[in-house]
Amino acid sequence: MSLCCCSAGSRRLLLPRVFLGQRRQARRPLLHLRTTATAAASSSATSLSTQQQRQVSLYVDALLYWNQRMNLTAVTDESEVMTRHVVDSLAVLPPLERAYTSRGGDISGIRLVDVGSGAGLPGLILAVARPSWKFTLLESMRKRCTFLEHAVEVMELSNVDVVCDRAENAGQSHDFRESFDVAAARAVAELKILAEYCLPLVRVGGLFIAAKGHDPHEEIRSAKAAVGKLGASMLDLCTVESMGPHGQRTAVVYLKERTTPKKYPRQPGTPSKTPL
C-alpha cells in the first residue's frame, strides 16, 4: 500500500424517455474546469475542452431541473454542483490513471462501471473527460435510470450505457461479472458493503476505486477481511482536494488479484444487511 497526495467500459438498456418538461438551455458561461493538483500530480490535472465544458453545463442544467421533481441531489445551487459534484468527480482521475498505468495497463480504452450511479456521479462526468473510455452506469432505481438516459442523450455521449439493475444481480450475470477494468463508486455504502457490490464486476488485474470522506481509515480497516474474501487487496490510498466541508476526500484503490468466489455477491439485500 502506498500513500500519496494528489487532487483533482457492455450493453445499452433503453428506458422510456420520460420528459418532466421542456429541456432547459444551458445559460451559464462556460467554465474552464481544472482539477486542483499538487506539483507531484500536476501532469494528471484534467482540462476540459470547450465542447466538454458545454456537455458538463448541459448536465448541470438537466440535474437541477429534474431534481425539482425527484431526489437526485441535496445540492441545489448551481455553483455548488460544479464544485462539489463535477470537480469532485474529476478529482478521482489522477489516482485512477496512475494506479492503472502502474500495473502496465493501457488507459486508452478502459471499461469502467459506475456502481450505484445515482445522478450519474462520477460516471457521466468521467465519460465527458475520457471520451475514449467505455462507461456503464449501474443504477437500481428506474426513475434515476430514466434521468440518466435523458442526460446521456442531452449530453450527446456515445460512450455510455445505462443498466437498470441491482449490483448483486449484475455481479452474478454472465454479461457483467468480472468484465470491467475499473469499478468506481461515490457515496454509495460503507466499504465492506461496497466491496461486495463492486469487486465481482472487476476482471482479475483490474481496479476498484471508492471515493470516500476525509478520514476513512476505520472503514478501511473494517473492510480488509471482506476485500480479501472477494479477491483483492489495497493498492493505493490517496487524498484529493475537495470543496466539501472538510476540504479533502480520499480515493481508496484496490487491486483485483484473484477471481471472486462464485457465491459473491450474495442475494440482493444481503450485503447491506449482513456485511462480510
What are the backbone dihedrals phi and psi of residue 266, each rounded to the nearest 5 degrees, phi first? -75, -175
- Residue 86 reports pLDDT greater than 50: yes
Residues 7, 95: Cα–Cα separation, whole Å: 8
Residue 82, all three cell numbers: 460544479
Contacts of 262 (CB under 8 A, 6+ apart): none
- Residue 161 reports pLDDT greater than 90: yes
User: Is the separation of the CB atoms in 110 and 130 below 8 Å?
Assistant: yes
Provide, rounded to the nearest whole percent, the portion of the chain with pLDDT above 70: 81
What are the backbone dihedrals phi and psi of residue 130, each rounded to the nearest 5 degrees, phi first? -125, 75
Q: Provide the pLDDT confidence category of residue 50 given band limits of 50, 70 and 90.
A: very high
Q: Following DSSP, what letter does each residue of the chain receive, concatenated?
A: -EEEE--------------SSPPPPP-SPPP--B----GGGGGG--B--HHHHHHHHHHHHHHHHHTTTS-S-S---HHHIIIIIIIHHHTTHHHHHHHHHHTT--GGG-EEEEET-TTTTTHHHHHHH-TTSEEEEEES-HHHHHHHHHHHHHHT-SSEEEEES-HHHHHT-TTTTT-EEEEEEESSS-HHHHHHHHGGGEEEEEEEEEEE-S--HHHHHHHHHHHHHTTEEEEEEEEEE-SSTTSEEEEEEEEE-SPPPTT-S-STTHHHHS--
Which pLDDT does position 20 carry in this prediction? 33
- Residue 40 reports pLDDT greater than 50: no
Which pLDDT does position 15 carry in this prediction? 31
Residues 205, 227: Cα–Cα separation, whole Å: 14
Which range (13-22, 144-153, 206-215) has the least confidence? 13-22
Q: Provide the pLDDT confidence category of residue 29 given band limits of 50, 70 and 90.
A: very low
Residues 8-33: what's their mean pLDDT? 37
Q: Provide the pLDDT confidence category of residue 232 given band limits of 50, 70 and 90.
A: very high
Which pLDDT does position 128 carry in this prediction? 97
**Comparing 276 with 246, which gets the higher pLDDT?**
276
Q: Provide the pLDDT confidence category of residue 4 given band limits of 50, 70 and 90.
A: very low
Number of domains in the chain: 1
CATH number at residue 94: 3.40.50.150
Residues 200-205: what's their mean pLDDT? 98
Which range (20-29, 177-186, 200-209) has the least confidence? 20-29
Which pLDDT does position 75 carry in this prediction? 79
- Bridge partners (DSSP) listed for residue 248: 241
**Comparing 88 with 270, which gets the higher pLDDT?**
270
Q: Provide the pLDDT confidence category of residue 12 given band limits of 50, 70 and 90.
A: very low
Dihedral sign (CA 168, 162, 28, 26): negative
- Residue 35 reports pLDDT greater than 60: no
Q: Average pLDDT over the chain, rounded to whole?
A: 84
Range of the domain at 67: 2-19+28-273
**Comparing 270 with 36, which gets the higher pLDDT?**
270
Which pLDDT does position 117 carry in this prediction? 96
- Residue 28 reports pLDDT greater than 80: no
Count of residues for the chain?
Answer: 276
Tens digit of each residue's pLDDT (9 = 90 or more) over 58-82: 999 999 999 999 989 877 778 878 8
The single residue listed with the C-alpha cell 466491496 is 195
